[in-house]
Structure 1
Amino acid sequence: MQGATGEHPVVQDWWATILKDFAVPNVHVFNVLVPWGEFFVGLGLILGGVTTFAALMGMVMNYAYLFSGTISTNPQLILLTIFIVVAGYNAGKIGLDFWLSKIVAIRR
């Protein structure tokens, strides 16, 4: 796998193995899951619904991009996501999380 060999590999060997043995053979599944995942993470963050979970899933996707050798703005986005996760304590004060917590409380 390109980027996983040489004197200064960009992709760690363990991640290259996962990509080669799992992701590439199932690329048709990932071609559907990644865009849907990005859509639902964005929707959850914009609407304020399941904010902490959406932020964590965004971090998981972002780390997968970083592990794969993509840099761009990903480190800054992970730092911002950490702030969202920490601020998740306040999730539920406004936005969709407020109403979802009321529905869950009623059903208990």
Structure 2
Amino acid sequence: MATITASRRSTNALEGPSLFQRLFTDRRASLLWLPIRIWLGWQWIEAAQHKISDPAWTQTGVALKGYWTNAVSIPETGRAPIAFDWYRSFIQSMLDAGTYTWFAKLVVYGELLVGIALIIGAFVGIAALFGAVMNWNYMMAGSASTNPMLFVVALALIVAWKVAGYIGVDFAVFNYRQILAKVRGEQEAPATAD
């Protein structure tokens, strides 16, 4: 009796980098990250737009003072906007010190700079980190709104920092040596061709 043995070749479609890995490491994924990055950047610019022209944000800081005052308040019934006592104490100490006068400007121009950096693709991971920190603080102060979604998108951009800014300023920043060498080589080549 003859025995027939067949060898099985692996036809595993998941050999090599997984889809998840390619999303965060393959430069071609930058096409996917580009609209996400621009969308998030635009959200930050829109958030800053109405504040920039408002003197309560850019001159006196009264708008931020009102926001913080509301956040630290403990209502007689229901839940307080801030769930954690340590964070309420932190915000209260900022109120007591009067830091809202300069911190409001930091919020406004921080939102604007994060938005611009994300749109032009400059230091995407760092910009997304600053945006995520702002979203986290808004959520801690009791403002859910769109902050959870923006926070998750910012976290994804932080993880994808290597490719998320590939179509943008980050390409030039991370490849400046090759770009300079290419520019120098092209400028020197015509001079030696005579």
TM range (shorter): 0.7 to 0.9
Q: Could you tell me the TM-score, scaled by structure 1's length?
A: 0.84
**Aligned-pair identity (%):** 32
Of the two, which has the highest radius of gyration?
A: 2
Q: Structure 2 CA distance, aligned partners of 1:4 and 1:37?
A: 31
Residue deviations 1:55-107 (CA, integer Å, cap 9, x gap): 0000000111001000111111111111111211214532101112234787x
Show the counterpart of 2:80. Answer: 9
Are residue 51 (structure 1) and residue 127 (structure 2) matched? no
Corresponding residue of 1:68: 141
- Structure 1: any 5+ residue segments left out of the alignment? none
Secondary structure, counterpart of 1:72 in structure 2: coil
User: Hey, what does 1:89 align to over in structure 2?
Assistant: 162
Q: In 1, Cα distance between the equivalents of 2:76 and 2:86?
A: 12
AA at the equivalent of 2:130: M
CA contact (8 A) 2:122 2:168 kept: yes
Whether 2:150 is the aligned partner of 1:77: answer: yes
| Gap change, CA 1:66 and 1:3, over 3 Å in 2 | farther
Correspondence for 1:21: 93
CA 1:23–1:97: 2 relative to 1, 3 Å: farther
Q: Which runs of 4+ in 1 moved over 6 A?
A: 4-7
1:30-41 aligned at under 5 Å gives the runs 30-41=103-114
Residue identity matched to 2:104: N
- CA distance in structure 1 between the aligned counterparts of 2:87 and 2:120, rounded to whole angstroms: 33
1:6 Cα deviation after fit:
6.4
Closer, same or farther: CA 4–40 of 1 in aligned 2, 3 Å: farther
User: Secondary structure of 1:52's match?
Assistant: helix
- Alpha-carbon shift at residue 7 of structure 1 (Å): 6.4
Instruction: Give the alignment's Cα RMSD to 1 decimal.
Output: 2.3
Structure 1 counterpart of 2:172? 99
Secondary structure of 1:70 counterpart? coil
| C-alpha distance in structure 2 between counterparts of 1:47 and 1:84, whole Å | 14
TM-score by length of 2: 0.49
